[in-house]
Amino acid sequence: MEKIKIPIVFCFDDNFVSQAGVCITSLLLNAKSETFYDIFVIHDNKSLFPSQGKLEHLYNEFSNFSITYRNVKNTFQGAFEIRDINVATYYRLLIPELIPEYDKIMYHDVDVIFRNDLSDIFNETDLTDFYVSGVVTPKPLAPDKPERSKIGFDWESYILAGNIIFNSELLRKDGVVDVFKQTVLNSKYEYQDMDIINLVCKNKVKRMPPEFCGTIEVFDLAVKKEIQTLYTLEELERVLSFGIVHYNGPKPWNTWCLNFDIWWEYYRKSVYFDENFYYNFFKSKINEYDQLSLKKRMKILFRYFKNGKTVN
């Protein structure tokens, strides 16, 4: 059977290797038999994991992928950082330049869990005349703030940058990567690369269905079946069934959070599963829970069963 090759990029540092491994595990477990993921990992000079073979442990379980590393060296050194998000967040802006082999390519953060094959949505997304595609945020990122309202964002098409598809061919042709670089070095945008993508690519952004980026806010709309203008209820139902789970707020390996059980399910299935870490995490959280008042414990349980466990 001829394989369908799907290019996909991740960017992270030594602090997120295990999380990246769990993320990629979910990607490969949900791949169709004919899908082959050509994975690229972008890193900097400080990263040790590319030479340590940590991601290569995945080859012990899967054969439907390859991993290639691309070093950005010291690009974006000294760039603006905020909310404990370091310069690695800007590396996705270099994808068309760092990976010239592909004219169209996906990027995903590693704080996500995949629950479906990506070949269909990738191949069916037509980016003719568009620079990038992504899911429009259901939560306007403070457009009412005077300093942000003056920037010039199109809030009707402001996309989330954690799960996107680039038209690398057009981005290279129009010299957009150079614009990205200059914007990073000469600005201090509150939402960093996401603001830059939406500003630089304005009017050339294609909207994608919400299943491609199931953030906390997207899942909230889906669970409540809230009627709004961004997504249809049918689209939101697909988010619940098999949408990408993006932990864009609290992280499940640190604390309780929406859909935390989904991440731990894939962690247990991965080659990165560590019994001590698993035991110590849940023991500490149970101890924290036991110290809460009965009222607070009931409130947590109510919130979890009402909003937290959104998939079977």
CATH number at 233 reads: 3.90.550.10
Residue 212 in contact with residue 80, Cβ under 8 Å? no
- Per the structure, the count of domains in the chain is 1
Q: What is the percent of the chain with per-residue pLDDT over 70, rounded to a whole number?
A: 90
pLDDT digits 0-9 by tens, 276-287: 999 999 888 887
3-state secondary structure of 119: helix
Residue 239 in contact with residue 135, Cβ under 8 Å? no
pLDDT of residue 311: 39
Does residue 310 register a pLDDT over 60?
A: no
Instruction: Count CA within 13 A, CB hemisphere, residue 80.
Output: 17
User: Any idea which of 95-104, 139-148, 240-249, 293-302 has the lowest mean pLDDT?
Assistant: 139-148
Does residue 142 register a pLDDT over 60?
A: no
User: In which domain, by residue range, is 43 found?
Assistant: 4-308
- With bands split at pLDDT 50, 70 and 90, how would you rate the model's confidence at 128? very high
- In whole angstroms, give the CA distance from residue 16 to residue 217: 24
- In whole angstroms, give the CA distance from residue 162 to residue 164: 6
Write down the pTM of the prediction: 0.89
Does residue 82 register a pLDDT over 80?
A: no
Residue 171 in contact with residue 96, Cβ under 8 Å? yes
List alpha helices for the chain, DSSP H.
Answer: 17-29, 95-98, 119-124, 146-149, 168-173, 176-185, 192-200, 216-224, 233-242, 260-269, 275-290, 294-303
